[in-house]
Amino acid sequence: MASIRLNPGRSLRKLALAGLVGVVAALAPLTASREVRGEPPAGGARGLGGEPPSPLEVWSFNLRYASSRGSNTWEERRPVTRELLEAQAPDIIGTQEGLYAQLRDLDADLPGHDWIGTGREGGSRGEFMAIFYRRDRFEPLAFDHLWLSETPRQVGSKSWGNQVVRMVTWVKLRDRRSDARFIVLNTHFDHESEASRVRSARLVADLVGTFDRALPIIITGDFNTPAGTSESFRILTEDGVRDTWEAASERSPEVATFHGYRPPVEGGPRIDWILTRGVAVVEEARIHTFARDGQLPSDHYPVSARLRLRASP
């Protein structure tokens, strides 16, 4: 199964941005994406056969990077992860923290999916914000990788007080069933710096604002800050963007999405979110607490949303 990644040797034009004022001014170039192939003519949200958009099962899943020492190694967690994903069969998965070899394992365990991503240090180096999607259902039309910094096209760049490189990956997909097109954006905010999280949220929100408003947008991520109460959440849920948990008709019990391999904390903070704009209905939102013989897939619970895209007029 082929994955699509930036060529490690491909030079990226640097954008010299002076803080967020520069970010806003430079967002049009940020959306200049790599085209995967020629885009078919626009057909709205119904295909040639008139089929309306089918539900999408979308996940955000911090995989916990592949560790080989101590407890909860990737070798121990991989079979549980595979069992969970095979049982739930998500259409789209935004992953965080996956290392290249780990994503190759996940790729092998999900034979019906392809994926797009690049390492945050460039090429196969560092953690990925990979996006997995069902190959038989979706066609990638364009994609890009940006760094959450004052120079978002500089590979491996970091700003705003974070010690760890942070980034965002997005892809434009076409649903082969309905011909609907939409954007999936996946990110991971810093775990220590509140200033970095807020600046990252503003950059992502401004990026979202540059996309065609006729295109539905799905945002997945580990935001390392609580939904509902944080400044990053407030910034990202302006301009018509909704939290799928709050919008869902049905929800699972709410627990803290980061658990650190400890028992679930009822009503604890949701730091892993799925946000949307231009989505008609969110049928269900879930936090998946699945374990097998006490072994959890990750130190985060994956979260999911079953939703329907809004039909075009």
**Predicted local confidence at residue 54, as pLDDT:** 87
User: How high is the mean pLDDT of the chain?
Assistant: 87
**Predicted local confidence at residue 42, as pLDDT:** 39
Question: How sure is the predictor about 68, in pLDDT bands with cuts at 50, 70 and 90?
Answer: confident
Q: Examine the pLDDT at 19 and tell me if it is beyond 70.
A: no
Query: Which percentage of the chain shows pLDDT scores above 70?
Result: 82
In which residue are the tokens 């849920």 written?
A: 237
Which of the two residues, 239 and 295, has the higher pLDDT score? 295
State the amino acid at position 82 in one-letter form: R
Taking only the tens place, the pLDDT of each residue in 192-246 is 999 999 999 999 999 999 999 999 999 999 999 999 999 999 999 999 999 999 9
The Cα–Cα gap between 290 and 259 comes to: 12
**Predicted local confidence at residue 44, as pLDDT:** 42
State the amino acid at position 258 in one-letter form: F
Q: How far is CA 181 from the centre of its chain?
A: 17
**Predicted local confidence at residue 67, as pLDDT:** 87
Q: Examine the pLDDT at 43 and tell me if it is beyond 80.
A: no
Which of the two residues, 50 and 185, has the higher pLDDT score? 185
Q: Which of these, 141, 200, 193, lies nearest to 168 by C-alpha position?
A: 200
Q: Which of these, 289, 271, 288, lies nearest to 191 by C-alpha position?
A: 271
Taking only the tens place, the pLDDT of each residue in 261-292 is 999 999 999 999 999 999 999 999 999 999 99
**Predicted local confidence at residue 34, as pLDDT:** 57
For 95, residues 6+ apart whose C-beta sits below 8 A from its C-beta are 61, 62, 63, 103, 106, 117, 128, 129, 130, 131, 132, 186
Of 29-43, 133-147, 177-191, 252-266, the range with the lowest mean pLDDT is 29-43
Question: How sure is the predictor about 310, in pLDDT bands with cuts at 50, 70 and 90?
Answer: confident
DSSP symbol at 167: E
The Cα–Cα gap between 70 and 74 comes to: 10
Taking only the tens place, the pLDDT of each residue in 125-174 is 999 999 999 999 999 999 999 999 999 999 999 999 999 999 999 999 99
What is the CATH number that goes with domain 55-309? Answer: 3.60.10.10
**Predicted local confidence at residue 39, as pLDDT:** 39
